[in-house]
């Protein structure tokens, strides 16, 4: 599998460096150009830089069942708002003259559901204040999920919003571990009308069952800061028998580090120097210094930028600021058409939701539905091979409305209009 990734990297060099190679490529087909890269490693790669922020409430008490969330960092002009300042952004430009991009992984956790602000507290507050600014610099919204429930912690000898380490239909409080995650994702999509293309696991936790579930849902996974995976492996597709090994699953797992480790950053420039395109992805939180002079998010971006400009000039290697989805797309070389649209209908006679089959879909489309009691949940659609469609029979009479949601292999989202199942 890693061999395949490397092939994709090499192939993709042709795309990224097309403008440097117009003369060389003029007389060659694209395939010929790829061949050129394979045999002449002197053509350098690019370092694609992804800045991830896990966007959370910074004072959540994991030992308290219900509490009001501190959302101070989400008001304008605070730690997050300051990063949308155009003078600052424009002071951080890559080798192509484009400004820094940030991928905001908005956090959800079951514990937030039991606060006055509710399950959608973080995405709602973030999007309210900064949603319209996202397109200014090509920022992206990803999903950050903390897999947790309220249960007795044997070590701490107390109840708390403790991390769950299973994904096996085990029940902790009321819902099973799988149901918790699915209803969290459903709420994220349904309430924000956003289908995330990129994911980061809370506490960096994933196991193989969780990974296999993710593999039907979200194409790009920036959770790998795992000691189980060789540090030289930047991008891979996991195996269905181990999330930590490469295999034949579909989503792309990208290494994303927390520390600004100069040895690691240098190693990526060295890979690029040998002709590879690489992703340098790093993450932090909206915690810490929040004043204009001491803003943790800005300080981290600046420190990384200083490394990048120095190494870029030392190795004569270009770096490019990308969002999470964009970097994974560039690396995989998957080509998608601009519009991604699925035909969705409701058959009242059979009470069945139908979506036309589309091979561009990543994984399986889901139906996100809201019950009359306000509970939001989701279910996978099933493939109907003869009819070439995905289907979902609405058996629950309590469903008040639903949307069909999906994502393409390139991370383009699809959300149908909200529909009401007629009688």
Nearest CB to Zn ion, comparing residues 12 and 198: 198
Nearest CB to Zn ion, comparing residues 5 and 256: 256
Phi–psi pair at 375, nearest 5 degrees? -70, 135
Selected range binding Zn ion among 49-57, 249-257, 264-272, 335-343, rule: CB under 5 A: 49-57
> C-beta of 187: minimal distance to Zn ion in Å?
17
Number of residues that bind Zn ion (CB under 5 A): 2
Selected range binding Zn ion among 4-12, 47-55, 92-100, 354-362, rule: CB under 5 A: 47-55
What is the rounded end-to-end Cα distance, in angstroms, of the chain? 49
Nearest CB to Zn ion, comparing residues 61 and 384: 61
Selected range binding Zn ion among 51-59, 148-156, 231-239, 315-323, rule: CB under 5 A: 51-59
Nearest CB to Zn ion, comparing residues 1 and 257: 257
> C-beta of 148: minimal distance to Zn ion in Å?
10
> C-beta of 321: minimal distance to Zn ion in Å?
23
Nearest CB to Zn ion, comparing residues 202 and 411: 202
Strands 220-224 and 235-236, by their bridges, are unpaired
Cα-Cα-Cα-Cα dihedral of 131, 136, 140, 141, to 10°?
Answer: -10
Selected range binding Zn ion among 54-62, 66-74, 79-87, 413-421, rule: CB under 5 A: 54-62
Q: In the range 195-214, which residues lie near Zn ion by CB under 5 A?
A: 202
Nearest CB to Zn ion, comparing residues 60 and 357: 60
> C-beta of 163: minimal distance to Zn ion in Å?
10
Helix axes 2-16, 30-39, angle to 10 degrees: 120
Q: In the range 237-266, which residues lie near Zn ion by CB under 5 A?
A: none
Nearest CB to Zn ion, comparing residues 52 and 344: 52
Position 54 contacts Zn ion (CB under 5 A): yes
Q: Which residue ranges make up the site for Zn ion (CB under 5 A)? A: 54, 202
């Amino acid at each position: 599998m890693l061999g395949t990734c490397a092939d994709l990297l090499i192939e993709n060099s042709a795309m990224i460096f097309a403008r440097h190679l117009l003369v060389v490529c003029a007389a060659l087909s694209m395939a010929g150009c790829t061949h050129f890269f394979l045999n002449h490693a002197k053509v350098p790669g690019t370092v694609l830089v992804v800045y991830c922020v896990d966007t959370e409430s910074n004072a959540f008490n994991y030992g308290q069942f219900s509490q009001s969330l501190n959302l101070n960092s989400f008001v304008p002009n605070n730690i997050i708002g300051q990063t949308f300042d155009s003078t600052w952004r424009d002071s951080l430009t890559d080798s192509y003259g484009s400004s820094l991009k940030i991928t905001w992984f908005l956090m959800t956790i079951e514990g937030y559901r039991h606060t006055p602000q509710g399950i959608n507290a973080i995405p709602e507050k973030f999007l309210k204040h900064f949603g319209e600014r996202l397109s200014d610099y090509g920022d992206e919204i990803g999903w950050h999920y903390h897999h947790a429930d309220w249960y007795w912690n044997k070590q701490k000898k107390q109840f708390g919003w403790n991390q769950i380490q299973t994904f096996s239909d085990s029940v902790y409080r009321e819902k099973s571990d799988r149901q918790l995650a699915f209803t969290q994702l459903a709420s994220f999509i349904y309430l924000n009308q956003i289908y995330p293309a990129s994911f980061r696991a809370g506490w960096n936790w994933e196991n193989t069952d969780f990974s296999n579930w993710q593999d039907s849902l979200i194409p790009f996974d920036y959770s790998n800061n795992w000691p189980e995976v060789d540090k030289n492996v930047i991008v891979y597709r996991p195996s269905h028998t181990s999330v930590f090994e490469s295999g034949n699953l579909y989503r792309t797992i990208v290494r994303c580090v927390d520390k600004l480790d100069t040895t690691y950053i240098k190693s990526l420039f060295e890979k690029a120097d040998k002709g590879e395109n690489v992703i340098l992805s790093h993450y932090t939180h909206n915690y810490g210094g929040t004043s204009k002079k001491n803003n943790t998010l800005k300080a981290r971006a600046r420190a990384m930028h200083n490394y990048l400009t120095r190494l870029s000039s030392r190795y004569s290697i270009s770096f490019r600021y990308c969002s999470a989805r964009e970097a994974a797309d560039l690396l995989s070389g998957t080509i998608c058409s601009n519009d991604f649209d699925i035909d969705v209908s409701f058959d009242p006679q059979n009470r069945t939701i139908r979506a036309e089959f589309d091979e561009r879909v990543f994984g399986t489309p889901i139906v996100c539905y809201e019950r009359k009691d306000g509970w939001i949940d989701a279910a996978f659609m099933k493939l109907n091979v003869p009819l070439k469609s995905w289907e979902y029979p609405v058996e629950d009479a309590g469903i008040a409305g639903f949307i069909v949601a999906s994502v393409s292999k390139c991370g383009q989202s699809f959300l149908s209009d909200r529909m009401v199942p007629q009688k």
